Amino acid sequence: MPELAFAELGFKERLKVDLFPTIWCPGCGIGTIMIQLAMVLDEMEMDETNTIIVTGIGCTGRMGSYLKHESVYTLHGRTLPVAEAIKAVRPEMHVVVVAGDGDTASIGGNHLIHAIRRNAPLTVLCNNNEIYGLTGGQTGPTTPTGTKTLSSPAGNPNTPINLQGLVRSSPHALYAKTTVYHQLHMRNAIKEAIEHDGFSFVDITSQCIENNGRRIGFASANDMLNFYRKTYKRAARDAEHLNPFEIGILTPREGAGANGNGSATTSTPDRPEALPAQPAGPMTSRTESPGAAAAAAAVKPATDDDKARRHAESQERAAVMAQLSAEVKLAVAKKELTLTDALTQAGIPIPEWLRTGASAPAGAPVAPGEVEISATGEDPRTQDQPTELDAQKAEAKVEERNLIGGTPGGDTQPAAPRTAHDTAPPALPADPKEAKRAEAQRKLALMQRLPSEVKLRVAKGEITLADALREAGIDPEDVG
């Protein structure tokens, strides 16, 4: 967003913009939640004189540092008792709790139960990214069943906590479900939660691309936002509970509570046997896990070739759609008209990938050409990939040099390659690990011969290394 345009926005008065950029990772959803909260605070004229922000431990806890409000940075899991104490002493103040799903539902789960039971007049905004992000990506209380994390490499065997069922166990509490993609809906949910006279809980599905999204197959935060856009749907206005992948606001039920005599019932959302239809790709389970039934019925993951064809097809599809009129595009988007029929009516030739692409039946021919993709359905394990430092270490070992000084050699810095012979790896040993390391060195030496623009294209997967060498007129054997 341009700096001038940002300066003209009224809600910036609620933010300490002099501390920007924030500490959060690029692509994190917490910044979006903070901006939407600031907009609501500005609209409702809530400032440091009438509002207190309470945050917990975790990535979300840093939000209080960027808001121009009185804020309390509590102990882990203790946001709710601290917030209740503030409300008891200063009942005229608005108290807003902002915390992550781990802080709220795991170590703070006991406090959550009793805050709901007491109908504490608090507003809780839960950043539900389904992972312990600050500590590196361990399984949390809302992690879907089957999701692979650092602490569950074989897949989470547990069922995630049902936050909706927990909050709705009280007939007086307000529960709202939204996502960071649905920003207008998020603002409406936050506003209605603050206006509610009693306990209110806003469950915000958010992305943690660095410590969760990439490990479960998403290439970027934008891919996760697109997943939310395609998967989450608005519930009916009169809905009494929200099914998985539905967003909405559930107001307190009519009538008095059960008061322990069993006269009232608590509706619990039915879990589907399988996830709703979604774009084929890395995701097998994202939010509100359907449980063991869906895990047992999980579809076999697509192969790398299938994903490569789908990636190429999506790019070609966008190019073809650009040739259609706006009305026809809308009809195709609404599925009132197939793309093939739209192209036929417009007199545009039907591309070959519509017959033999990723959407074709099994066994259809693969489109010619090698297509590389940036993400697979598995952990890319980039930490195990050879780096330039590994290549320098291998070179130093061959030349009997020391990268950090001393003997032998005494070089304080790694020497730059001097000739093609210097960059050549040693003869391939019999050991597979040594062979892999040598091949990595050879590719590094080849990449150094390419212009910067071509290196970037290779890194993005737009062109293979072999094609890049051919375009540059470089013979790999000259380096080998």
Chain segment 136-150, per-residue pLDDT in tens? 999 999 999 999 999
Mean pLDDT of the chain: 79
Per the document, the length of the chain is 480
User: So where are the chain's domains?
Assistant: 10-296, 302-377, 386-479
* Tens-place pLDDT, residues 113-125: 999 999 999 999 9
Look-up of token digits 């709202």: 176
**Residues 375, 215: contact at Cβ < 8 Å?**
no
Instruction: Write down the pLDDT at residue 368.
Output: 46
pLDDT given at position 424:
58
Pull the structure tokens for residue 77.
Answer: 């899991």
Q: Please tell me the predicted confidence (pLDDT) of residue 385.
A: 62
Q: What is the pLDDT of residue 387?
A: 66
Residue range 387-420, pLDDT digits in tens: 666 767 777 776 666 555 444 444 444 444 455 5
Tokens representing 26 are 């690029």
- Does the pLDDT at position 303 exceed 90? no
Would you say the C-alpha torsion 44, 48, 54, 57 has a positive or negative sign? Answer: positive
23/151 Cα distance (integer angstroms):
25
Q: Is the dihedral of CA 274, 278, 282, 288 positive or negative?
A: negative
Beta bridge partners of 2: none
E strands, 9-73, are 51-55, 70-73
Which is higher by pLDDT, 133 or 381? 133
Beta bridge mates, 127 = 100, 204
Q: Residue 50: is its pLDDT beyond 90?
A: yes
Q: Count Cβ atoms within 10 A of the Cβ of residue 126 and give its class: 0-12 exposed, 13-18 middle, 19 or more buried.
A: buried
pLDDT of 294 > 90? The answer is no
- Split at pLDDT 50, 70, 90, the class of 384 is low
Distances (CA, A) of 145 to 157, 159, 195, 394: 6, 6, 35, 43
Q: What is the DSSP string of 311-338?
A: HHHHHHHHHHHTTS-HHHHHHHHTTSS-
Contacts of 457 (CB under 8 A, 6+ apart): 463, 468
The per-residue pLDDT for 409 is 45
Q: Between 277 and 3, where is the model more confident?
A: 277
Any idea which of 62-71, 193-202, 278-287 has the lowest mean pLDDT? Answer: 278-287
Which pLDDT does position 165 carry in this prediction?
Answer: 94
Helices and strands (H, E) in the chain, number of each type: 19, 8
pLDDT at position 171: 92
Report the range of poorest mean pLDDT among 186-190, 236-240, 294-298, 430-434. 294-298
Q: Is CATH 3.30.465.10 what the domain over 10-296 is classified as, yes or no? A: no
How far CA 12 is from CA of 18, 25, 50, 398, in Å, comes to 11, 21, 18, 58
Interatomic CA distance for residues 415 and 410, integer angstroms: 11
With beta carbons less than 8 A apart as the criterion, state whether 53 and 69 touch.
yes
- Contact partners, residue 167, CB within 8 Å, separation at least 6: 116, 173, 175, 199, 201
Q: What is the residue type of 298?
A: A
Query: Considering only 116-120, 189-193, 286-290, which range has the smallest mean pLDDT?
Result: 286-290
**Cβ neighbours of 338 (radius 10 Å):** 12
CA–CA separation, 41 vs 364, rounded Å?
Answer: 56
**Farthest-apart Cα atoms in the chain, separation:** 86
Check: CB of residue 39 under 8 Å from CB of residue 187.
yes
- Residue 49, pLDDT > 70, answer yes
Which has the minimum average pLDDT: 52-66, 105-119, 225-239, 444-458? 444-458
